[in-house]
Structure 1
Amino acid sequence: MPRIGMLTPSSNTVLEPVTYRLLSGAEEVTAHFSRLPVTAISLAEEQSGQFSVARMSAAAELLRDAAVDVVVWNGTAGSWLGLDYDRQVCDALSQVCGVPATTSTLALHDAFRAFGVRRLGLVTPYTGDVTARIAETYAAEGVEVVADERLEITDNFSFGEVPEQRLVEMIGAAAPGAQAVALVCTNLRGAFPAAELEPELGIPVLDSVSVTLWKALDLLGGRPLDRGSVLLSGSTRAALKEICALLRAATGSDRTTVRLDLPSQRLGVDLAAAEDTGPGVAAIQHDRSLDQRALNTVRWLEEHRKTLVQPHFRADPRPPQALIAAYGVRAQLLAPIEIDGAMVGWISVHSLTERDWAPAEIRAAEAAASRVSTLLER
C-alpha cells in the first residue's frame, strides 16, 4: 500500500482533514504527517527562518520511520522564497527519506505547465508585500499574475478560519482574464469550492492542497481522482505536454498540440489538452472559438484515418482562416489518435512558414499519436 509522507506547518488545521477527504475512494493510498514550527507569514527574516532546510530535514526523519514512498513539503513558502529554495528542500527530503520528493510550490508550477497557464489569477491570505514577492517568483517562471485577491493576514492559524464562501468570492474576483486561478496557501479551505467552481468559470482552479496531493500521487505513478481538474487530468496533461515537447523538437516546428475527446477526464477537442510552442510563438491552447469537429481538416482525418500532410494551404482540405490570420500557421501535419477504432482526437504540428515535411517528421507525428493512444489505453 503506497504511503505519502507530508511535512506540515504546525499551525495548519486544514490540509490534513482536507487531504483525507480528497483521498476518500482511494483507500489503497495513505497519507502520514509530520509537523514543524510555523506560526506567522511575513517577509521578516526571523519568520523566513521557520522554513530552514535543517528544520525540514529533522521533521522528515520522523516520516522516514514510517517507510513512506514519497515525501512532500506541504507548504507554499517557496512561492516567495524562490523555487531554488524549494529545490534544495526537495534534495534534502529525498536524501533523508530515500524516496522522491516535491513541494506545494513546485507542484503548482508543474500544474501551470501541464495546463499551459501563462496568465494567472492569484488568491492568498497574505499581505501585499508577500503577494508581490509571489508574483515576482511566478513571473520569473513565465507565469504572469493578472489579478490578485488577498486577505492581508499574517497569523497562519487564522488562515484556516477563513470561511469557504469568502474564498468563493475571491476566486470569482481573480478569474476574469486569467487562464487559471491558484489558491496559494495550504491552510485555506479551498479544495472543494475550487473543484465546484471550475465548470462555472471554465478554467482550472488550482488549490494548493489539491495540487500537492496530485503531485504526490503523480510521483507514485498517477491515480486520477474526481476532485477537480488537477486531480482528475493533471497527470494525463503532464504526459501529453511532454509528448508535445518531444514532437516539436523532433520536427523543428513552431507549435505542437494534442486535442482529445476524453469525457472521463473532462477533456474536449475544442480546447487543446496540451501544447508546446517555440520562443515567441503565440499559444493556441486556451482558444475555444472554433468548433473543431466541424473543420474541413478534421473531417478529412475522420474519413481517411491517416496523417494529413500540408506543406501549404493552397489545396483542399483547407484549415480555418483563423489559424492562418490569427496564429500565422502556413503548414501543418495532423495525425489522428484512435482507440478501439474510434478517432478520439489528433496531434497537430504547426509551422509558421511553408515547408516540405520530411518523411522522418511525418513518422515522428505518427509515433507521437501512437504514444498518446497507448497512454490513454493505460
Structure 2
Amino acid sequence: MNENRHRPLRVGMLTPSSNTCLEPVTYGLLQGAPGLATAHFARVPVTRIALDTGSDAQFAPEPMLAAARQLADAKVDVLVWNGTSGSWLGIERDRALADALTAETGIPATTSTLALLDACAAYGVSRLGLALPYTRDVADAIVSTYAKEGLECVLAEPFGEHDNEAFARIPPADVARQIERAATDGAQAVAVVCTNVYGAFEADRLEHALDLPVFDSVSATLWRALDLAGARPSWTGHGQLLRDGSLRAGIQCVLGTLLAATGADRTTFRVDLPEHGLHVDLTAGEALGPGVRSIRRDASLDQRRLNTVEWLEAERRTLVQPHFREAPHPPEALKDVYGVRAQMLSPVETGGALTGWISVHSTRERAWTDADRQAIEAATAQLTAPMAPN
C-alpha cells in the first residue's frame, strides 16, 4: 500500500504468553537491518507443552484470531504465529491457521513451523537434525510430523522440559552443545524447534564450526515474515538463513516454475556468488520430478572444465541438446549416474562474466520446443537480476 512505502515494515507476532525469549531475540536480530522493520507482539495463553487435550486446547484458533485482530489495528504488514505447535500437532493445523488469520484480517500470515519447512525447502534439506527442549514423547511426535513432510530427522536427546517458561532458562551453551549433537548421521542442517530457546545468537558461530546451516525458530520466523512481506531480508551476523534464505527461496521458486513449464525431470542452477556461500561445483538450487535422483550435493566434478560449460563460456547463448551424440559432450557421470539423456543449459552473466548457468535435464532424448527455450530464457532473466551488483 502506498502509505506504507516510506515506513519500516510492521511484523505482527502472535506470541505464547509464557515466552520470554522471542521478543528480545527478535529485537536483537532486527538491529542487523536498521530501518527495515519493527516487530509488534500480542500474547495468547500458552504455558505447558505436552501431548494431551489440555495442552492442545491452548492452540485453538479463536484466541489467535482475537490477537490477530488487535495487531491488524496497528496496520501490520504480515502476521505470524510465533510458536512451533504445528510441529507436533500437525502441519495441516498450521496451514489452516495461516489461512484463517489471513481470512480474518486480509494480512498475509505464516507460522514458525511453516517457516522452518520453508527454510528446509530453500536449502534442499531432506535430513534434518533436531535440537529440542521438550519431553521425549513430544520430540517423537515432531519426528513423525516432519517425516510426513519428507524430512528424515536426526534427534539429539531433548532436554525433557514441559514448562514453556522454563525453556528460556536453558543456558545458551547447553543449547549449542545440543545443536552440535544433532549435526551428525548425515544431517544437512539443524533446526532449533522452539521459539523460547536461545539458539539464534549461536547460529552463526556454529554454522562455521559445523559447516551446516542452523535454522533457529525465532530467526526462521522473522526471516519468513519479512520475506512474505516482500522485504527479501539479507544481513550478516546471525546465520545463513537471514543472509541467504530469501535468495535461495527465490531460486527454488524459479526452478520449480521452469520444471513445470518444460515438463523436464530436473532443473538446477549453479552460480559463483561467494558472498552468499555459493559456488558452481554445488547447485544453488534444484527442482525434481517424481522419483528423480537429486544431484544437489554432488561436488565431484570441476564444473568450469566441463565441455558443455566451456561451450557456454565461448558462445554465451543457450545450449540445446536433444541427445548427446554431438559435441559438446556432457560428463559421463551425468549420463551414467543420473540418467540424463537430453538437456538445455543457459548462461547467467554478471558484469560480462559467466557467473553461472541453469540446467534443464531430461531422462529421455527429446526435442526441445520453442516454448521450452522461452521458458529457460525467462528463468535466466529472473535469476540474472538478483546477481547484478547494487
1:102-155 CA deviation, whole Å, 9 max, x = no partner? 100111111111111111111111112111111121111111214444111111
- Corresponding position of 1:154: 162
- Corresponding position of 2:333: 322
- Corresponding position of 1:284: 295
- Structure 2 residue 221 is the aligned partner of structure 1 residue 212: yes
Q: 1:66 aligns with which of 63, 69, 74?
A: 74
- Corresponding position of 1:360: 371
- Corresponding position of 2:233: 223
Shift of 1:238: 1.4
* Secondary structure at 1:196 match in 2: helix
Contact 1:53–1:88 (8 Å) recurs in 2: no
Taking the aligned partners of 1:322 and 1:126, their CA distance within structure 2 comes to 44
Q: 1:103-252 residue pairs with structure 2 within 5 A?
A: 103-176=111-184, 177-221=186-230, 222-226=232-236, 227-252=238-263
Taking the aligned partners of 2:92 and 2:367, their CA distance within structure 1 comes to 43
- Corresponding position of 2:3: none
Shift of 1:32: 0.9
Taking the aligned partners of 1:157 and 1:312, their CA distance within structure 2 comes to 61
Taking the aligned partners of 1:5 and 1:90, their CA distance within structure 2 comes to 13
- Structure 2 residue 362 is the aligned partner of structure 1 residue 351: yes
Taking the aligned partners of 1:156 and 1:129, their CA distance within structure 2 comes to 16
* Secondary structure at 1:150 match in 2: coil
Contact 2:120–2:126 (8 Å) recurs in 1: yes
1:327-357 CA deviation, whole Å, 9 max, x = no partner? 1212211100112212211001111122232
1:4-57 CA deviation, whole Å, 9 max, x = no partner? 111111111111111111111323210011111211111111011111101111
Q: TM-score, normalised by structure 2?
A: 0.92
Contact 1:296–1:317 (8 Å) recurs in 2: yes
Taking the aligned partners of 1:317 and 1:167, their CA distance within structure 2 comes to 51
- Corresponding position of 1:337: 348
* Secondary structure at 1:51 match in 2: coil
Shift of 1:75: 0.3
Contact 2:133–2:160 (8 Å) recurs in 1: yes
Q: 1:14 aligns with which of 21, 37, 50?
A: 21
- Structure 2 residue 12 is the aligned partner of structure 1 residue 5: yes
Q: Do the aligned partners of residues 279 and 20 (structure 1) sit closer, same or farther apart at CA in structure 2, a change above 3 Å counting?
A: same
Taking the aligned partners of 2:271 and 2:157, their CA distance within structure 1 comes to 33
Contact 2:156–2:179 (8 Å) recurs in 1: no
Contact 1:258–1:274 (8 Å) recurs in 2: yes
Taking the aligned partners of 1:149 and 1:117, their CA distance within structure 2 comes to 21
Contact 2:265–2:288 (8 Å) recurs in 1: yes
- Calculate percent identity across the aligned residue pairs: 56
- How many equivalent residue pairs? 378
Unmatched tracts of structure 2, length 5 or more: 1-6
Contact 1:63–1:97 (8 Å) recurs in 2: no
The residue identity in structure 1 corresponding to 2:223 is: W
Q: 1:97 aligns with which of 101, 105, 124?
A: 105
Taking the aligned partners of 1:287 and 1:341, their CA distance within structure 2 comes to 28
Deviates more, 1:301-310 or 1:355-364: 355-364
Q: TM-score, normalised by structure 1?
A: 0.95
Shift of 1:296: 2.4
Deviates more, 1:306-315 or 1:166-175: 306-315
Taking the aligned partners of 1:354 and 1:203, their CA distance within structure 2 comes to 37
Taking the aligned partners of 2:48 and 2:178, their CA distance within structure 1 comes to 22
Taking the aligned partners of 1:235 and 1:279, their CA distance within structure 2 comes to 25
Unmatched tracts of structure 1, length 5 or more: none
The residue identity in structure 2 corresponding to 1:248 is: L
* Secondary structure at 1:145 match in 2: strand
- Corresponding position of 1:85: 93
Contact 1:257–1:347 (8 Å) recurs in 2: yes
Deviates more, 1:139-148 or 1:118-127: 139-148
The residue identity in structure 2 corresponding to 1:113 is: A
Shift of 1:69: 1.2
- Corresponding position of 2:4: none
* Secondary structure at 2:134 match in 1: coil
The residue identity in structure 1 corresponding to 2:136 is: G
Taking the aligned partners of 1:191 and 1:318, their CA distance within structure 2 comes to 46
* Secondary structure at 2:124 match in 1: coil
Q: 1:239-278 residue pairs with structure 2 within 5 A?
A: 239-278=250-289
The residue identity in structure 2 corresponding to 1:13 is: T
The residue identity in structure 2 corresponding to 1:199 is: H
1:266-300 CA deviation, whole Å, 9 max, x = no partner? 22222211111000111111222322223222222
The residue identity in structure 1 corresponding to 2:294 is: A
- Structure 2 residue 27 is the aligned partner of structure 1 residue 37: no
The residue identity in structure 1 corresponding to 2:152 is: E
The residue identity in structure 1 corresponding to 2:266 is: R
Shift of 1:258: 0.9
